[in-house]
Amino acid sequence: MNRALSSRISIFIVLGVAVLGLILSLPAFSYLPMFTRTSSGSAKPDHWVLNAFPLTYSVNPSLGSNFVGGGDPIQIVSSSFDTWTKAPNTGLTITRASDTSAHSAAFDGMNLICFICQDKSSFGGTTDTLAVTVTTTSDAPGQDTRHGVSSTAAGQIVDADIEFNPDVQWSTGSTVTDSQQHLQTVATHEIGHFFGLDHSAVVRAAMFPYAPDVSTTLSYDDVAGISQLYPKTSPDVATGSITGTVKFQGGAGVFGAHVFADSTGSSLPFGTGVRKSPIGAMTGPDGSYTISGAPSDSYTVTAEPLDDPVTDSDISGYASALSKASVQTNFTTRWH
């Protein structure tokens, strides 16, 4: 709709595409991490350094009558963490530390999960904000992590807290009513942020900014993201990458195009516990992209402007981290 009308400028896509045998593994990201802008001006993906200090979370177990459905919210959060840490190709562990009475996000050496969070300003004064994840990263090595050691990398996450809005009606069951929100669905998304992922423009991803009423599993895009940030030493499933460049007709690279690879096959290399979805990437300032974490298959690759339903506003720091005002959307969708 808008996309078709939005511009007469066409793009020329240089495909580094489709087929796939096992292309070698690669660097870059095929999902979208959050970024930290370093003191030198470059952008580094947010991530935990797993050997820096034990990665734990602490729960404030206080609950209100706004939790209904019979499930245990703490167990649900634990299951949501497991969804990410047990993702294919992912080498990531986190343990639950002692409970706490803290009730507000803070850079204090403790990764807090609170259900009756006291600082309602975190939610912008409404019940329309269901939950927030607040992360703190180091802009450079050598910063105090508040865990007794110094940070070792720019973009290293040193603290992350998840606050659930206490004024929201939460369902801890398997279904929701119109007035409820599904705790595990929201927790799964927020924990993606906890581990460093930004929103994804792939519509079936857990990190897509909007979700079905109930959706508690990861998609291929999510798996690509978490496994690239925290790769398993011996991957469960062999993957490769797709690279290319998105250019305007005049030859200039398109910055911030959303490029996604969609499998044309019916195989399920990640099994049935992961929802099959396209795997996405954003182009860099020169228009180049790398879609990583793609299992062996044939793919259709599409480049589209990030102009709805996911927009620049949903990926909070991508353009600014790369010293750009915003992503470019003055082109029409193309695929090969």
21: contact with another protein by CB under 8 A: no
Instruction: Yes or no: say if 129 and 123 are a contact pair by the CB < 8 Å rule.
Output: yes
Tell which one of 76, 77, 113, 131 touches another protein (CB under 8 A).
131
Q: Could you tell me the sign of the dihedral formed by the alpha carbons of 107, 113, 118, 121, in that order?
A: positive
Q: Which region among 34-42, 62-70, 85-93, 284-292 touches another protein (by CB under 8 A)?
A: 34-42
What is the Cα–Cα distance from 28 to 91, expressed in whole angstroms? Answer: 17
140: contact with another protein by CB under 8 A: yes
CA nearest neighbour of 60 among 100, 89, 4: 100
124: contact with another protein by CB under 8 A: yes
**Residues 201-220 contacting another protein, CB under 8 A:** 203, 206, 208-213
Determine the size of the site formed for another protein (CB under 8 A). 72
Cβ count near 84 (within 10 Å): 23
175: contact with another protein by CB under 8 A: no
Q: Please list the residues that pair with 244 across neighbouring strands.
A: 289
Residue 297 main-chain phi, psi, to 5 deg: 180, 180
**Residues 264-323 contacting another protein, CB under 8 A:** 302, 304, 308-314, 316-317, 320
Q: How far is the CB of 261 from another protein (least distance, A)?
A: 13
Q: How far is the CB of 152 from another protein (least distance, A)?
A: 14
Q: How far is the CB of 235 from another protein (least distance, A)?
A: 27
Structure tokens at 288: 């180049």
**Residues 79-118 contacting another protein, CB under 8 A:** 104-108
53: contact with another protein by CB under 8 A: no
Instruction: Yes or no: say if 274 and 87 are a contact pair by the CB < 8 Å rule.
Output: yes
221: contact with another protein by CB under 8 A: no
What is the Cα–Cα distance from 190 to 202, expressed in whole angstroms? Answer: 16
Q: How far is the CB of 26 from another protein (least distance, A)?
A: 26
| Helix (H/G/I), strand (E/B), else coil: 304 | strand
CA nearest neighbour of 204 among 111, 260, 278, 283: 278
Tell which one of 193, 247, 275, 276 touches another protein (CB under 8 A).
193
